[in-house]
């Protein structure tokens, strides 16, 4: 079974956590987009009603409108009952690396505001130690080279032997990639994060770091698409 098929199974299983009348945080990325599409189908069939979505990216918002998921501005949400989102890596403690698509700031804001975060992934995203996927760190463009040096020092202090930090660029390879909020992203190749908790703490203390892609103590349910089905795990 392909990774895409596994993602679709995980996204479908996440619908079991959705109830009519909920306000949902809608994540970003390929697996989250599959969930949004399936949510639209459930609304069209009448299986779910009175759902309102809060998107974590402009791309997710566009998809939600296309498939018929009603959206509300985040500042009009009285609460966020449930967020469904993907991840670039997940370890055994449900700690995540996110931000491969550049939406980590809004994703973390919505996840933190939600009563429950459900993470949907294919089995290739499961790891014993975080860090093989380059850790995204969103930074203010002002003096970003100074910030990058501080990020390097913070990762070294967290036990990363030789972090390789690169400014993410657009597809042309010339201009910096800009997040929906107008910030830059530093992709930090660590190989392995010996202590993800320490890394998260040190990065959060750096002026100029807007947010980092380590999601600690946010996910409570993990759904893994596997050959032939989806495995649901809860902390």
Q: What's the sign of the alpha-carbon dihedral 14, 95, 132, 105?
A: positive
Q: Which two three-digit tokens encode residue 18?
A: 């959705």
Q: Nearest 5°: phi and psi at 105?
A: -65, -55
CB 179 within 8 A of CB 141: no
Q: Which two three-digit tokens encode residue 167?
A: 């400014």
Q: Which two three-digit tokens encode residue 22?
A: 């909920």
Which is catalytic among the residues 33, 107, 138, 211? Answer: 107
3-state helix, strand, coil in the chain (%, to 5): 35, 25, 40
- SS3 at position 152: helix
CA distances from 183 to 36, 90, 143, 168, 208 (A): 26, 25, 12, 11, 10
**Known catalytic membership, residue 58:** no
CA distances from 81 to 25, 142, 229 (A): 8, 36, 26
| Catalytic site positions | 107
């Amino acid at each position: 079974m392909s990774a895409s098929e596994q993602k679709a199974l995980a996204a479908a299983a996440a619908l079991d956590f959705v109830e009519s009348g909920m306000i949902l945080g809608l994540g970003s990325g390929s697996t989250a987009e599959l969930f949004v599409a399936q949510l639209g189908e459930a609304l069209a069939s009448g299986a779910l009603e009175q759902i309102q979505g809060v998107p974590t990216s402009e791309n997710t918002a566009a998809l939600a409108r296309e498939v018929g998921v009603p959206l509300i501005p985040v500042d009009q949400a009285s609460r966020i009952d449930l967020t469904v989102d993907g991840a670039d890596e997940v370890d055994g403690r449900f700690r995540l690396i996110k931000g491969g698509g550049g939406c980590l700031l809004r994703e973390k804001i919505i996840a933190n505001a939600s009563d429950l975060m459900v993470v949907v992934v294919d089995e290739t995203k499961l790891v014993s130690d975080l860090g093989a996927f380059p850790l995204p760190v969103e930074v203010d463009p002002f003096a970003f080279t100074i910030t990058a040096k501080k990020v390097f020092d913070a990762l070294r202090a967290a036990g990363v032997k030789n972090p390789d930090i690169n400014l993410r660029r657009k597809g042309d390879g010339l201009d910096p990639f800009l997040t929906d909020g107008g910030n830059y992203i530093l992709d930090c190749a660590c190989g392995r994060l010996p202590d993800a908790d320490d890394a998260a703490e040190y990065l959060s203390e750096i002026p100029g770091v807007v947010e980092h892609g380590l999601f600690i103590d946010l996910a409570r349910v993990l759904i893994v698409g596997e050959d032939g089905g989806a495995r649901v795990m809860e902390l």
